[in-house]
Chain A
Amino acid sequence: EVQLVESGGGLVQPGVSLRLSCAASGFTFISYAMTWVRQAPGKGLEWVSGISASDESTYYADSVKGRFTISRDNFKNTLYLQMNSLRAEDTAVYYCAKSSGSGYRSDWYFYYWGQGALVTVSS
């Protein structure tokens, strides 16, 4: 059974950093691209960042480019999102999700999602 479990969320002040983790199990992690999607309270879904399987190409939304870094540890089967210079508008539930393949164009839709981690940025 595929499982994705996010951790690392919390309440932080503007300007600080936070790292989210997503522990994956039930599939061959190294073979799949992964992504982060967020959802602000009462709002729709916003794609944040993606990373391909073994070659580790990375992609970012303009809203987080230069502040967030996606990475993966294929030995620990874990996906990360390092979030720096956090802003109030980054407040959201952050979901990690598994792509359907290794990272070709047609792979970037998401069958499996974690339960989400809430990040609140407020002073």
Chain B
Amino acid sequence: EIVMTQSPATLSVSPGERATLSCRASQSVSSNLAWYQQKPGQAPRLLIYGASTRATGIPARFSGTGSGTEFTLTISSLQSEDFAVYYCQQYNNWPLTFGGGTKVEIK
């Protein structure tokens, strides 16, 4: 099983600042990596797939980079609606696996 490790667990950021979230895979997942945003009481929302392709309707302030084992989600200028938990997910190997999540909170 591929273990996905996200860091940090919690990120405190002021509105308007840049947020950088990391996701590391225990073995290569190529570019088969997705990012999701989840707010309390809601289902996850797809942000990025293929490591760097924004999903339909996702603002340009969200960007994904990386391949192999190291991935980054960057939110260029945090808006109030961006405070949430973010998960990465690999879909290169079975079983599919999610990272433990990064909570982005208001500083």
Q: Is the CB–CB distance between A115 and B91 below 8 Å?
A: no
The answer to whether the Cβ of A27 comes within 8 Å of any Cβ in the partner chain is no
Q: Which of A70-78, A80-88, A100-108 contacts B (4 or more CB under 8 A)?
A: A100-108
Q: Which of B14-22, B66-74, B75-83, B92-100 contacts A (4 or more CB under 8 A)?
A: B92-100
The answer to whether the Cβ of A46 comes within 8 Å of any Cβ in the partner chain is yes
The answer to whether the Cβ of B63 comes within 8 Å of any Cβ in the partner chain is no
List chain A residues, Cβ under 8 A from B8: none
> Which of A37, A45, A106 has the most CB atoms of chain B within a 10 A radius of its CB?
A45
- Residues 104-121 of A contacting B (Cβ, < 8 Å): 105-111, 113-116
List chain B residues, Cβ under 8 A from A47: 89, 95-98
Q: What is the CA–CA distance of A60 and B46 in the complex, to the nearest angstrom?
A: 22
- The size of the chain B interface, using a CB distance under 8 A, is 26
List chain B residues, Cβ under 8 A from A44: 85, 87, 98-101
Q: What is the CA–CA distance of A114 and B44 in the complex, to the nearest angstrom?
A: 9
Q: Is the CB–CB distance between B100 and A109 below 8 Å?
A: no
Of the residues B43, B89, B97, B99, contact of A109 by C-beta under 8 Å: B89
Q: Is the CB–CB distance between A110 and B46 below 8 Å?
A: yes
Q: Is the CB–CB distance between A113 and B44 below 8 Å?
A: yes
Shortest Cβ gap from B24 to chain A (Å): 15
The answer to whether the Cβ of A16 comes within 8 Å of any Cβ in the partner chain is no
Q: What is the CA–CA distance of A111 and B94 in the complex, to the nearest angstrom?
A: 19
List chain A residues, Cβ under 8 A from B46: 109-111
**Contacts known (A111-B55, A116-B43); A106 close to B98, Cβ less than 8 A:** no
**Contacts known (A106-B32, A109-B34); A61 close to B43, Cβ less than 8 A:** no
List chain B residues, Cβ under 8 A from A46: 98
List chain A residues, Cβ under 8 A from B97: 47
Q: What is the CA–CA distance of A111 and B46 in the complex, to the nearest angstrom?
A: 5
Known pairs A106-B32, A109-B89, A111-B56 / 15 extra A-B pairs, C-beta < 8 Å: A37-B98, A44-B99, A44-B101, A45-B44, A45-B87, A46-B98, A47-B89, A59-B96, A61-B95, A62-B1, A105-B91, A108-B96, A109-B49, A110-B36, A110-B46
